[in-house]
Every structure is written in C-alpha cells, then in structure tokens.
Amino acid sequence: MEPPSYEEATLHPSGPGTAALITSYHSSLTNPSTPPPTYVEAVGASDRRRQPQPTVVVTQPQPVPVLITHLGDIPGLVSCPHCHHVVTSKVTYVPGNVAWCMCLLITLMGFICGCCLIPFGLRSLQDVHHSCPRCGKHLGIYKR
C-alpha cells in the first residue's frame, strides 16, 4: 500500500490508509523474529572451545641505585666511605660566605633594624653540609 501524499495527509490526518500504515510499522518494531543471545551464550560458548592458555608472569628487575658523585643543595643517594652503606645523605644548612656578604651589603645600604639578618633565614643563601645518617660522619659541603 502506498502512503498518502502530503496534501492528503494534511487534509485527512486519520485517513483509511494511515491506520494500516501505523499498525504495520509498529508490528514490525515490537517483536523481532529471534531474541538476541545472552552474554553467557555469546561469550561463554567461544570460551569453552578454547584451550586454557598458560599464565605468563613478568617480573621487573630490581632498581639499581644511581649514586650521586656531586652533592648539591638537596639530599642525595651516596655510598658512605666510612661505613660502606648506600644511604641518602642528611643535610644541614649553615650560613656561609654568601649569607655573610649579603648581611654586610644590607647593613651598608642602611637597613640595620633586623633586615640585615634576613640572609641567615634563607636556605638558598646558606651552605649545605652532607653527613651519613647511619654513622654520622661528614660526607661533603655544597658551598654557595
């Protein structure tokens, strides 16, 4: 059956051909001929035919510590020459030449009321002393 033209459909929205067209359309959508397979049917059937695969275990190699040959302004991984252990160095900040020179410069500029002590509170202007956390021996100094 042929659908009505645009003019016929606008003049007679519920004409004799419209009801038959709507019912045939709805009946084709509501019931498919066969239901879709379940998940177990779709996936499980193919798994039963396959042979079990061997399990492969991949292990990562142990990390190798990278020893720092030049100590900087942060703790580093070093081999202590005294106790022969690989340790992360313990750092202590001590005012060095740069902090004292900045203090003198600020004093000469006329900022005497405590401003000259600011360089002693800034870690970026202080020397860094490295020591071993196991034996406590001195490892090196990073001077600014």
Q: For residue 87, how many other CB atoms are within 10 A of its CB?
A: 19
Going by the DSSP 8-state scheme, the letter that residue 130 receives in this structure is E
Give the range of the structural domain holding residue 97, as residue numbers without chain letter.
77-142
88 and 32 within one domain: no
Specify the number of domains making up the chain. Answer: 2
Domain-embedded: residue 123: yes
Domain-embedded: residue 129: yes
pLDDT 10s digits, 47-62: 555 666 777 777 877 7
130 and 85 within one domain: yes
pLDDT 10s digits, 75-128: 888 888 888 888 888 999 999 999 999 999 988 888 777 888 888 888 888 999
| Residues whose CB falls within 8 Å of the CB of residue 72, separated by 6 or more in sequence, listed in order | 128, 142
pTM metric for this prediction: 0.51
Degrees, nearest 5: CA angle 62-63-68: 150
